[in-house]
């Protein structure tokens, strides 16, 4: 049998655990479970969209019993995972006990459903490629990402550490859409396609905003203290007014940057300053040259 050197490797790994580096959690606090957070998000999506995240059809005769079961299961799972977070010395001031946080969270689910109804309608109204809202709920990544973010933001506002970010990163891994739980997002929000969208923690987004894939609402640079460490907190990400559309590949940076209401930002635009309401911002290339591949010698040469 091949000698893989397992004993020596195990000893070397154990020795590495004795070193510093911040990647061990041994004899420390019990941290939230990534699997538990995933289960929580799945339960919450089933509550938000009954019949859309299920293996079998949900009948109205079973809806009350099924919903009661799911609300209790989500509450218990959230209590377990939130309880692991409240004792962490990360948030200042400390969050309330898990029971109070979870009680307030569960009571706000109907309001989140109202917001999501507007988000689904915005997607339906804004995308000619779909013919029904069912397709949007089951197939569009933006709805899943926005749903989880709106829920995670409730816990973020409670100053609960770790768990809100774990929820949005769960959605990020499934959808390719990275929305920080701290971002403030108004109603009727739509992200078309969605892949590669990044929305930072201190973003404020108004009502009726539409983003396309590859849009970044990010920070410009980070202040550092006297020892060269990044200063945490502060307004770092832009504000986007009502009814703004931002096309693919555009990057908007800075905590003082404001995109005025009813503006349109064209594709591949790079902005680090504010624009007034009703602006049209676009990147204008000098020319695009098109030549014939069949007979380049014929000098068929179009310039647009």
Split at pLDDT 50, 70, 90, the class of 301 is low
**211 forms bridges with which residues in the sheet?**
191, 246
Predicted local distance difference test score (pLDDT) of residue 173: 97
Q: Is the pLDDT of residue 303 over 70?
A: no
| Domain ranges in the chain with CATH number 1.10.3130.10 | 30-168
Phi-psi region of 159 (alpha: psi -120 to 50; beta: other; left: phi over 0): left
In Å, how far are 3, 135, 191, 193, 267 from 129, measured between CA atoms? 58, 10, 14, 11, 20
Quick one: 151 exposed, middle or buried, by C-beta within 10 A (0-12, 13-18, 19+)? buried
Fold of the domain built from segment(s) 30-168? 1.10.3130
pTM for the full predicted model: 0.87
Residue pLDDT, tens place only, 69-121: 999 999 999 999 999 888 776 767 788 999 999 999 999 999 999 999 999 99
Higher pLDDT, 300 or 185: 185
Pairing mode, if any, of strands 251-253 and 216-218? Answer: parallel
Q: Within the chain, which residue ranges are assigned CATH 2.160.10.10?
A: 183-223+233-304
pLDDT tens-digit map of 271-296: 999 999 999 999 887 777 776 777 65
Mean pLDDT estimate for the chain: 90
Query: What CATH number does the domain located at 183-223+233-304 have?
Result: 2.160.10.10
């Amino acid at each position: 049998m091949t000698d893989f050197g397992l004993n020596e490797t195990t000893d070397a790994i154990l020795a590495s655990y004795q070193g510093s580096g911040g990647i061990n959690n041994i004899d420390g606090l019990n941290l939230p479970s990534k699997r538990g957070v995933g289960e929580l998000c799945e339960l919450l999506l089933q509550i938000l969209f009954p019949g859309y995240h299920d293996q079998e059809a949900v009948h109205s005769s079973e809806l009350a019993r099924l919903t009661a079961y799911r609300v209790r299961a989500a509450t218990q799972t959230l209590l377990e995972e939130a309880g692991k977070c409240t004792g962490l010395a990360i948030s200042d001031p400390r969050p309330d006990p898990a029971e109070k946080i979870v009680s307030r969270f569960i009571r706000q689910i109907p309001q989140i459903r109202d917001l999501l109804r507007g988000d689904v309608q915005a997607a339906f109204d804004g995308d000619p490629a779909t013919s029904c809202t069912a397709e949007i709920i089951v197939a569009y990544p933006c709805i899943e990402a926005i749903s989880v973010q709106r829920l995670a933001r409730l816990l973020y506002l409670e100053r609960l550490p770790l768990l809100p970010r774990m929820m949005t990163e769960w959605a990020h891994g499934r959808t390719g859409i990275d929305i920080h739980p701290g971002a403030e997002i108004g109603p009727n929000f739509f992200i078309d396609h969605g892949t590669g969208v990044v929305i930072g923690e201190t973003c404020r987004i108004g009502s009726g905003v539409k983003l396309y894939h590859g849009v970044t609402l990010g920070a410009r640079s980070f202040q550092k203290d006297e020892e060269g460490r990044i200063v945490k907190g502060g307004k770092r990400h832009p504000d986007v007014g009502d009814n703004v559309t931002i096309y693919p590949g555009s990057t908007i940076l800075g905590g003082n940057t404001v995109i005025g209401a009813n503006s349109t930002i064209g594709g591949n635009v790079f902005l680090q300053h504010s624009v007034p309401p009703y602006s049209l911002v676009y990147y204008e290339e000098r020319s695009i040259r098109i030549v014939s591949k069949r007979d380049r010698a014929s000098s068929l040469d179009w310039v647009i």
